[in-house]
Amino acid sequence: MQLASDQYASGEQPEPLLRGPASIDGEYVVLDRGRASEWHPFVKADGIGRGDAIIELAASGSTPAQALKFVEGFGLLRKGSESADWRELLSVFQREASALLSGLSLYRDVRRASQDPGLLPRLREKWLHLGAPRAGLTFTEHAAVAVSALVTRGLVGVEERVLPVSNERELAFVSAARTPHLLGHIYHQFAIVMTGNVALRTCEDPACGRFFTPGDARQRHCSKAHADRMRQQRSRAARREGNQRRDDQSAT
């Protein structure tokens, strides 16, 4: 459950981040500070999906247009609300997006390999860039160490804390890290996913490919809209194939 800021019983909430319109200035992505607005990042404990900062950064690719869209929705990666400089190298954005995508892919594959060892020969080919395992480690354990190290590096400067939350029915407690910037929040969310052993898949819509947490074992798409689109495409393809088959039979 994603928690709104007014649910914090203690009156505390995560530090605000800034997001808003941005532009490209040479090698930099520049946030328009005068038009930016504050928002509070809240960690999800029960899964992630389309629209979450961690998912959208991993899906951002490498183009300036994708970087601008991300900054408008979430903000610059390493600039807290008290920053004096509101620009970030585009190359840094691209590098962090690529690293996060690799980390999410590795985490997903480690979970799959631990549940189905038959996948290991194929996954080992994907993990060649990790080098050979240390003595005593399996390839799956070696990959698990690598993704753990990646997330641990992303958590530098993040201060873990617990806060009470309340609604009309109950009082509960949530992890609410104090993060120096957006990237710290993203890696804190990644850590929550990993320590909760949360499942991840990639959307099978070729136009999407985003990571998401499936609601059940049958879910193959990140949203109903994408599932419907793929179903319609399969239906149209089946009709075309049927029409072609009838045309071929008529010709003979």
Mean pLDDT for each 10-residue chunk of the chain (252 residues)? Answer: 47 77 97 93 82 94 91 94 90 95 95 91 88 90 95 93 77 80 94 92 91 90 88 80 69 65
pLDDT value of position 104: 96
pLDDT value of position 52: 93
**Sign of CA pseudo-dihedral 228, 229, 234, 235:** positive
Q: Please state which CATH number belongs to domain 5-221.
A: 1.10.3300
Q: What are phi and psi of 77, to 5 degrees?
A: -75, -40
**Whole-number Cα distances in Å, 179 to 78, 158, 189:** 10, 5, 11
Cross-sheet strand order for the sheet of 28-31: 22-25, 28-31, 87-89
pLDDT value of position 163: 76
pLDDT value of position 2: 43
In DSSP terms, 17 is beta-bridged to 39
Quote the pTM value: 0.84
pLDDT value of position 3: 47
pLDDT tens-place string over residues 32-44: 999 999 998 877 7
pLDDT value of position 4: 45
Q: Spell out the domain ranges in the chain.
A: 5-221, 223-252
pLDDT value of position 248: 65
pLDDT value of position 82: 79
pLDDT tens-place string over residues 69-127: 999 999 999 998 778 899 999 999 999 999 999 999 999 999 999 999 899 888 888 88
pLDDT value of position 80: 83
